[in-house]
Amino acid sequence: MLAALTALDSCRANSSTRTMSAKTLADKYSVSIEAARREFDGKELVIKGYASNFAVMPKDDESEGMILLNSGKKDAHEVQCWFSRYEAAEFAGFAAGRPLTVRGIFNGESGISLKFCKLVLED
């Protein structure tokens, strides 16, 4: 019974996840920070884009790593994707210009940022 409820909760969480490009999210944020925060803060998003840089790896057990995503062009705004040391190995191989898709929780308080990012593997 518990397994069935867990699976149901997992499906429900995934059904509310929004998928969009890094450019779309950056454009929405640049039009209105307040509107973007009302719509996305605290929500899980799947963002598709290109690595703007090599991933910055966590320095120790307490820090986070970060990679920037953009549309593949020189964008005015980039999406910051923060990940824990547990995901560092997955992000280590990404070089600038490489396409990637991430899943994370939006936090627009200090820019266009996703927390708790995980790499989404494409089929």
Separation between Cα atoms, residue 106 and residue 75, nearest integer Å: 19
Which residues in the chain land under pLDDT 50?
A: 1-14
Residue-level pLDDT at 12: 40
The number of distinct structural domains making up the chain is 1
The verdict on residue 44 lying in a domain is yes
pTM for the predicted model, two decimal places: 0.81
The verdict on residue 3 lying in a domain is no
Residue-level pLDDT at 5: 35
Identify residue 70 by its one-letter amino acid code: N
- Nearest CA to 49 among 31, 63, 70? 70
Distance (Å) of CA 20 to CA 6, 46, 54: 26, 6, 22
Identify residue 31 by its one-letter amino acid code: V
Residue-level pLDDT at 28: 95
What CATH number did the domain enclosing 56 receive?
2.40.50.140
The verdict on residue 11 lying in a domain is no
Residue-level pLDDT at 62: 74
DSSP of 70-81: ESSS--S--EEE
Residue-level pLDDT at 15: 54
pLDDT per position as a tens digit, 11-36: 344 457 899 999 999 999 999 999 99
Greatest distance between any 2 Cα atoms in the chain:
50
**Domain containing 55: what range?**
17-119
Residue-level pLDDT at 75: 62
The verdict on residue 83 lying in a domain is yes
